[in-house]
Structure 1
């Protein structure tokens, strides 16, 4: 197994992306032959692609960050900021006056028995003028939604929970000016509300909105998932003739 991150860091830059790979077989002499067999080739990546919003080799109105797409908002309200929780940059969603900003990340993660979020977020401002909000939404099977509410103004009425959409006020809800860590057992959140099923995490959305006369500013970084399930021993082997080094 190769850790591509280690190889990237050898070049002294995190601003690199794998765009292709190739296998070669050479037979340099007449009558020589080389046989190469390749099996079980896997590339294991982060579910959120670029969880720290560090890769800036490509950016457009529809793809503001590598692997992330614009959900709502025009160019300018979705931006990269150096005011990061870790690394060099983070995602900045700042809106004013009846505007919104959002990014989405398509995902395909089968839930295990204990999958946790591990997201860093900082709500810098959310004025109490008009309706305003900041949230993170997880979509499961493209039919069921869990919305983690990071903050909203007193002018905003929280929607009622339904059979396929629930809203959860996170710890440190509406707290401004400090970095917070969103740690949630999303397996528990989904199954406790929607029941047991073959749940697949299919999308992640971060969104902000500011109503008339209002302003909302949210910074997100380190959008990671953690497996909280403990390892299980499937078998135990006893070495009867150990090799001892001297």
Structure 2
């Protein structure tokens, strides 16, 4: 089985931070939708030659997963967009409204090789310090199950939460006991999939989770065996729990609950 290699990006793709891209959407009175590229900072060309990067085309893709809507626009070369200094406008012909549209910006060379990208861009401005969301909670009909990690999306894991639960979207934020019982298991499942299944380390969701581990000072053992990888998963979960003091907060929450009864 092929394993991911944390230290190598064989595709040489540049990961453009979401904070470097801003796309606004608007709808005319006649119902037509359009996107406006308000900001695009492609100053970092990574391992690619500057001339190759500047000559590459900028492509914007818009999609809405719930309806399958999709459109694609080529906005010109990197150099052309930088020199013009304008805000390219593109029609969203396959969309009847501006809700739930996400964008992907790609930098593609003349032979259609992908040199760089930024995926899952939401409309509007994002702060520089804002990190990509790791866990997305989605209300779902789960019968008698309370939650589960769902892998059917193309862009990584999401957590389905039983929609019968009151305020299910806030389930993992409001109760320290639930957070301590559930979130480490989500982290363990995702990191195990990263460590032991065939994943491309250049995929945005994999890169985001490996970055999460790095911030916990748990570097992926790219050259390690299965035992090293299992230990890595345990270390990530333990470091995460330690960083948030999950047991301490759950204990305090239970003690306060007992005192109030």
> TM-score normalised by the shorter chain: which range applies?
under 0.3
More strand by share: 1
Higher RCO (CA-CA < 8 Å; seq separation 6+): 1
The structure having more radius of gyration, on CA atoms, is: 1
**TM-score (norm. length: structure 2):** 0.25
**TM-score (norm. length: structure 1):** 0.26
